[in-house]
Amino acid sequence: MKKFLIFAGIALLVLVAGLSVLGIFLAPQLEEELEAVLSERTGRPVQIDSFGWSVWPGLGFRGEGLTVGRADEAFELFVRVESIHVQPGLFGLLRSPRSLNSITLKNLFVRIPPKRSSVAFNLKPIALTENDSPPLREESPFLVERLVLETAAIELESKDPSKPPRIIQIRTMTMRDIAFGRPSPFQADVHYPHPEGDVLVDGVFGPFDRNDPIRTPVSGHYTFRDADLSAFKEISGILTSEGDFNGNLGENHIEGKATIPEFQLTKAENVVPLSVDFVVDRLGSDVYLRDIRSSFLETEIHTVGEIVRSRAQEGRVLKLDVKGEKSRVEDLLRIALKGDQPPLTGQIQFTAAVTVPPGPGKVIERMEIDGQFQIHEGQFTDPEFQKKLAQISKLGRADRGSDSDDRTFSDLTGDFRMENSEIHFSRLQFGVPGMKVSLTGSYGLQSNQMDFRGRVSLEKAVSEMTSGGLSNLLKILDPLLRGEDGGTSVPIRIRGDRSSPSVSIDF
């Protein structure tokens, strides 16, 4: 046993000595090769502040202060790594091309300049299975089995120097089967700053585009978890999203689904479960909403639009075309207004063109909407108001028919424009059997104040709504209040707070 330990000790010393000699011999050579390869592949100067070797727990090399490019040169690729640890394996460095078991990078920073080329947006997804090993497109001086990033930041510069860059914070990232000239599969844990949440990505990166780094291909599948929407102030809820993307670092095509179990407009305070299926293209800092389908309660809404740089002023402008065909008005009112019971129910069809320009102030104050809507079989939820409506319907109908009650249906249509938190109705009409109401006016979303003028048209003449001597007396008013289609037409005005509006005759 004693002899065995002696021989084992001697063998270990010989191995350590051999590895030390190998490290002393290969360290400067590997440093020189790394600097030369990175410089040739990126077209930028490369520097490593220090580079050494170690033999425990195996032959390895450690570098400090790796930089690619110059930090003070704008619109140029710049890379900075605090430390780099290379594990080549026993015979990896003696092969050609050199084979490395792993490279670990700590505190990586990459600044990527804006797109230089004018190549059209062309997305081609890359698909790799777990066992795929894509062929080399060009000879690579290094083959790396595994690359690990421990804390990284990728800064995507804007073409406009006055605009801040977009920054991607990576907690950890692992890439496999890395070689110049071919794509490599990766997994990453990314922290998204706004709204704040965690993104897990499983995808394919590369090959690196030396001439235009931001056009380096990237594709994969993502899961976005626990994103807090309260960062946007006007809304709240915890978002979870999952989907697929493909494109490059500057341009992506994304298809996915998002769910928000407790979505809320903070002004309205009501909570609804919201689900969104989306198809989105991101071109630089501009986002194009190709197909957005939202559903909550029993309502479905289809949206297309864009979020792009504004030509008129500093910032970004949101433009949406919104369409609802399978929607309920009570769902829309529940998400937009306070209170447990919406004032109106019924099926609604609507279209709206929405614009939110950049600038100070709340979104609701900057939002502009041009739209129209039609509510079928609507009912007012206030029993007393619905009962009065039924009584007027019975009073105004030319044919007596069956008695009306507090479930009288109302059809409501309108054209409107919203700006400065005020909705201006150029046409607002609704009708029940025996009566039609036509109004124009405005309603304040923040003040809850309304002011409408219009006419109430009844099928009967005034004198026909009563009997006896009073009927004969009222016949004198029939010509004065006669409507275009006969019957009675009375000018009215509705104004005051939404909770208790006043209605008066407006001669």
Closest listed residue to residue 151, CA positions, set 171, 167, 130, 125 = 171
At a CB cut-off of 8 Å and minimum separation 6, what does 155 contact?
109, 110, 111, 112, 165, 166, 167
Q: 425 lies in a domain? A: yes
Q: 459 lies in a domain? A: yes
DSSP E strand boundaries for 266-406: 271-283, 286-296, 299-309, 316-328, 344-356, 368-380
Q: 442 lies in a domain? A: yes
One digit per residue, the tens of pLDDT, for the chain of length 507 reads: 555 445 544 544 444 444 444 445 455 666 677 777 777 777 788 888 887 766 555 567 788 898 888 887 777 888 899 998 888 766 666 666 777 888 899 999 988 887 654 444 444 444 444 444 444 445 667 788 898 999 998 887 777 676 777 788 899 999 998 887 889 999 999 887 777 888 999 999 988 887 888 888 999 999 998 888 887 777 888 999 999 999 998 889 999 999 999 998 877 778 899 999 999 998 877 899 999 999 999 999 999 999 888 777 777 889 999 999 889 989 888 887 777 778 888 899 999 999 988 888 777 788 899 999 998 888 888 777 777 777 777 776 666 555 544 455 667 899 999 998 889 999 999 888 778 889 999 998 888 889 999 988 877 766 566 666 555 555 566 555 566 666 777 888 888 887 778 877 766
What is the pLDDT, as a whole number, of residue 276? 95
Helix (H, G, I), strand (E, B) or coil at 231: helix
At a CB cut-off of 8 Å and minimum separation 6, what does 52 contact?
27, 61, 62, 63
Q: 423 lies in a domain? A: yes
Helix (H, G, I), strand (E, B) or coil at 267: coil
Closest listed residue to residue 188, CA positions, set 245, 234, 264, 133 = 245
CA 350 to centroid of chain Cα atoms: 23
Per residue in 345-388, pLDDT (tens digit) is 889 999 999 998 888 877 778 889 999 999 888 888 877 777 77
CA 490 to centroid of chain Cα atoms: 49
What is the pLDDT, as a whole number, of residue 119? 40
Q: 278 lies in a domain? A: no
Domain of 462, in residue numbers:
382-505
What is the pLDDT, as a whole number, of residue 264? 85
The rounded mean pLDDT for the chain is 79
Q: 431 lies in a domain? A: yes
Number of domains in the chain: 1
CA atoms of 15 and 113, how far apart (whole Å): 47
What is the pLDDT, as a whole number, of residue 378? 83
What is the pLDDT, as a whole number, of residue 40? 77
Residue with tokens 């993502």: 222
CA atoms of 149 and 307, how far apart (whole Å): 32
Residue with tokens 């923040």: 446
Q: 1 lies in a domain? A: no
Q: 422 lies in a domain? A: yes
Task: Report yes or no: 115 and 215 within 8 Å, Cβ to Cβ.
Answer: yes
